Structure 1
Amino acid sequence: MTEPTTGTATGTETDTETLRERALGSLVTARDRTTLLTSCVEDPDLTAQHSPLMSPLVWDLAHIGNQEEQWLLRAVAGRDAMRPEIDGLYDAFEHPRAERPSLPLLPPAEARAYASEVRGRVLDVLESTAFHGTRLTEAGFAFGMVAQHEQQHDETMLITHQLRTGPRALTAPDPDPVPLFTGPAEVLVPGGPFTMGTSTEPWALDNERPAHRREVPPFRIDTTPVTNAAYQAFIEDGGYDDPRWWTAAGWAHIRGHSVTAPLFWRRDGGQWLRRRFGVTEVVPPDEPVLHVCWYEADAYARWAGRRLPTEAEWEKAARHDPARDRSTRYPWGDADPGPQHANLGQRHLRPAPAGSYPEGQSPLGVRQLIGDVWEWTASDFLPYPGFRAFPYKEYSEVFFGPEYKVLRGGSFAVDAVACRGTFRNWDYPIRRQIFAGFRTARSEGA
């Protein structure tokens, strides 16, 4: 079995220029989004900490600029540090989020000016850098890494916008309405080996590497993510009051924190309401459920007589093409994502209805594996066989272990540059502020 190449090899001048244009476009798209997320509110909202789980928005802004300076101006171009005295302030490992508001952070105007000056110099470096010679520069990896980093922080800032109180600051059109999905509830994924991970995707991050063979027994997986309506049935059946469905740690967590529904939900008479980016609305029944932690997803799956898919099962459902016996970059094939394939890039501020994007389904007919909601899996975040940290251990290696659960597929808040069929996300099983939902699975014959 093989995995695809991206169609942008680095052996010719034309291919190098294509990669350079991709890097430029990715950096510009990320910065446009950062600007939107930090210009739609006044300075007090930028410097406030809207939740102890999140940084002030102004910290993210300067951190984005500082990481770009460190990797592209210093590491790639070999230039002297512009503001070495601020490196420690914006070191995510040196300062936990809860203490960042007390740091002497750059004020909003200065943070904007710093990030802008860094970007101007980076664009000059991009024009002159050869996309070969070192692992950082090969195929423009460092530029792709920085674009992905900024988009990841853009998603984090969007989470902060969801957590902040006050009037709506962001708007976007809703996804197109679709007929109620009436297709099969689940899809059979045949057993056998497949190629998991990648060794050829130029901008894949270290935890996605290397490509390796995995043997997966046959299983069935939900055709679409679990919807709000389905999750409400779990609530109404007393799911949050029955310890049978919960792990010991999950039961202790929901009891200790009085969790009785997804985050941002509240009951109003006979209906459920939710708060979404400053607006209160009726919970739409046909959307994928959002803002549930791993414990909640796992409990629902047990209640439904099913389980969460393993990470390997999820990736096989998303990438395996049985007709060609190969793994593709995305469920729909090797082409980059388009608006017909998936709900990505903050194009909308909500998931699309379950069953949307038929052009983005996998060869087996599984839908919405990319975009809409991150999907919790049953797996701990662990390295692949042959893993090597690059370019720094703190991106992945320090997080490996049973404390973190893997999420796959991206959400409406994820940009395409930071979302692939091999892309791995991870978080604590208690996290609910992230844009996460899930789908369930069962072993064939179970």
Structure 2
Amino acid sequence: MTRKLFGTDGVRGKANSYPMTADLALKIGAAAGRYFRRDGSNVHRVVIGKDTRLSGYMFENALTAGLTSTGMNVLLLGPVPTPAVGLLTTSMRADVGIMISASHNPHHDNGIKFFGPDGFKLSDQAEADIEALIASDIEPAQAQNIGRAKRIDDGRFRYAERVKATFPAGRLDGLRVVIDCANGAAYRVAPEVLWELGATVIPVGVSPNGVNINDGCGSTSTELAAQTIREQGADVGICLDGDADRVMILDERGQVADGDQIMALMAARWADQDRLNGGTLVATVMSNLGLERYLDGRGLRLERTAVGDRYVVEAMRANGWNLGGEQSGHIVMTDYATTGDGLLAGLQFLAAMVETGQPASALSKSFETVPQMLKNVRYAAGQAPLEAENVRKVIADAETKLVGQGRLLIRKSGTEPLIRVMAECEDDSLLQHVVDGIIAEVEAAV
């Protein structure tokens, strides 16, 4: 079937507007409950986590109502990082995990992500099956089989202990670390983990009020962390997003290392330690051409997938590879986690600092990036700008101009109504010319 609700990372949209309404969330919960409670017994359960958005309360209650109406028992974790939901789904023997979050988006957005009993995000087919149930008449449980719901108070502590156990370098004593939690889901657990490992912790973005998540802080807005690093004389900064599945690393000068640079460092170190399965790093089509060239130079391989960390993970699982991620900061280490984990990736970077004795600036730039430009055009429902004849022509012309000099990627966002135009080219003037030309035609089409 054609998917309408589920995008590249669950269901997402503006709170109290379709599809992110309370009544639809109830139906989604009921459909998921019916899908996972297939044998009719009353021993099935689901864990639900959320970030710090005000609308999280509404969706938590609506999903709980839908799930319990079909006989699922609900365990409410409260604010925890997305990777904690993947972990706890398996460790608490749940049939499904749900994270209520719109990740790096502003507070007025929210989303619903699903994890299967193995802790990994659901396949496209599973989401399509749930979506089909939403459109049908969902059979409720009999009165005596309605599910129960209860709060779980130790979810973040379980997650914290798991994350600390992955740290390979002993202690962080002597390191001054700025941790920016984006006023999001990791606002308590991330500073706690770093402090317990011995670091001097300088926290920012740890005062959520329901509407300040990702607002001027976090992995998509690193200026606050950079300023704090310089003012406090910190050694390194770790910037998470609202649900803590992404990370950006800042060196002692406040310079940013994105997901590509973090993956390059980790791939090289893991390869040297004979830990990089298949000598392969998995990344998306958005990762910089410089990363691919760097890996080639070390005899390693870059496997590209469609945009979305779920597709990275699918490729990793299918081929036995254990390291992958996205330029945006999702870093997936299947030796330790089932999805991107910003805090865990941050600890791997800190481990490199401890083990090598090198400053963050020496570790955060493994390769020179090929100049890359990304611009977006917003479009309205029902519009199809990429099908316009003039748009198709200018794209074809741009591809011809870039042959042998770079590459072009144009796609619809899976989480917002945006056309994303990305190009890479070492000729800055040509790069600007092709991107601006495409943007102009797309804007005219919408």
Normalising TM by the smaller chain, what interval? Answer: under 0.3
In the superposition, the TM-score normalised over structure 2's length comes to 0.23
In the superposition, the TM-score normalised over structure 1's length comes to 0.23
